[in-house]
Amino acid sequence: MNRLMLIICTVLLLGSCKGNKEDEQKGEVTAKTENNIVTLTDVQYKNAGIEVGSIGNQSISSKLKVNGKIDVPPQNKISVSVPLGGYLKYSRLLPGMQVSKGQIIAVIEDPQYIQIQQDYLVAKAQYAYNNSEYNRQKQLNVSKATSDKVYEQAKSNYQTQNVLVKSLEQKLRLIGINPSTLSANNISKTINIYSSINGFVSAVNVNIGKYVNPTEVLFELVNPTDIHLALHVYEKDIDKLLVGQTVWAYTNTNPGKKYSAKIILISKNVSADNTVEVHCHFDNYDKELIPGMYMNADIEAQTSNASALPDDAIVRFENKNYVFELKGKNKFEMKEVKTGTSENGFTEILQTDFAGKQFATKGAYNLLMPLKNTED
């Protein structure tokens, strides 16, 4: 009986000791947290891989993230119209097509073109007669064989007809007809529309058979030799930019493909949304970039010394950035921090009251977890 009681007591004692040991181990795993302060045991501190350091000076080049679009200057954007109205008889243009200078891009038909050519040829014939009559009357007037009145009338008729012929010549040139080659044998009811540039078609606004007025735009052409990137930069960042700075542009659909460019012009006007337009030229223009295309861009601003911490010292929680300041042995306080540019593993710290203080430069996320779990 005494032996049985001894065995039972021994089992109970061993169980009690095991429970106390588990409680001690559990206490070592759980960090103490209170009011954004985390206190670790020596074991926890070692296991968390925490290193401590202070804010130091780092050379960081400011990088601006901006957006804009592909654009061309007004002189490289051509709106094609017809000086005199007519019906579109022929055109094969489509948006994106390449065109060459002097290429026929459309044929317009209208009876008024016939009338202008007729008027010119008739006026030209009358001019030849008036010129001959004027010269004859001039000679007769010198010998007093005719009156001054008759001579002056012949002179007036000649000058009036000359004005008419010259004006009709300009009308013909306006619609693309060469007056010097026009004769009764080649009068045409159509006129050709020619491309004035080497480039591509950006818009087609008409269809075959449509009547177009002089105020209507048939096609829009673009000369790509001066295509550039127009970016919108906030006014507060303009002092970071200089002509000649490098820009890396990319599209939303393919952000991995970068297009290098240089700043060529910084506007002096501030828009209603407090942005300034910055114009850039591509180092190597890619034909995939077309006017109106939306672009993102990174601008490498000037390099400067900045107060910075390693990236590992900064944790992000609920859309805010935090660091852990050392407050005592194994004791850290989580504090919100305002950050600037990040480069080469360091992030700029904008607060000035952090100077001289010690922070967790490694293992910061291991300090965040106890606080986060406590709040949950």
Instruction: State the CATH number of the domain containing residue 232.
Output: 2.40.30.170
- String of b and e for 114-153 (b: at least 16 CB within 10 Å)? eebbebbbebbeebeebeebbeebeeebeeeebeeeebee
CB 228 within 8 A of CB 281: yes
Integer angstrom CA distances of residue 266 from 31, 62, 142: 55, 18, 71
CATH number (domain holding residue 36) = 2.40.420.20
Domain residues for 297?
64-74+223-304
* Confidence tier at 33 by pLDDT (50, 70, 90): low
Residue 11 token pair: 């089992």
Most confident of 35-49, 158-172, 289-303: 158-172
- What pairing do the DSSP bridges indicate for beta strands 259-270 and 98-99? unpaired
CB 84 within 8 A of CB 175: yes
Q: Is residue 22 part of a domain?
A: no
Q: Is residue 19 part of a domain?
A: no
Query: Per residue in 91-117, pLDDT tens?
Result: 999 998 999 999 999 999 999 999 999
Does residue 86 share a domain with residue 218? yes
Element (H, E) at 141: helix 111-142
Q: Is residue 116 part of a domain?
A: yes
Q: Could you give the number of structural domains in the chain?
A: 4
Does residue 129 share a domain with residue 101? no
Q: Is residue 52 part of a domain?
A: yes
CATH number (domain holding residue 101) = 2.40.50.100
Q: Is residue 290 part of a domain?
A: yes
Q: Is residue 175 part of a domain?
A: yes
Distance CA 299, CA 224 (A): 23
Does residue 98 share a domain with residue 49? no
Does residue 38 share a domain with residue 161? no
The whole-number pLDDT of residue 353 equals 84
Does 24 score more than 60 pLDDT?
no
Query: Per residue in 204-257, pLDDT tens?
Result: 999 999 999 999 999 999 998 888 999 999 988 888 888 999 999 999 999 999
CB 148 within 8 A of CB 125: no
Task: Measure the CA dihedral 300/306/307/309, to 10°.
Answer: 30
Does residue 162 share a domain with residue 105? no
By the 10 Å C-beta count (0-12 exposed, 13-18 middle, 19+ buried), 332 is classed as: buried
pTM for this entry? 0.59
Does residue 268 share a domain with residue 210? no
Q: Is residue 27 part of a domain?
A: no
Distance CA 192, CA 305 (A): 64
Q: Is residue 291 part of a domain?
A: yes
Does residue 338 share a domain with residue 234? no
Does residue 315 share a domain with residue 367? yes
* Confidence tier at 278 by pLDDT (50, 70, 90): very high
Does residue 68 share a domain with residue 55? no
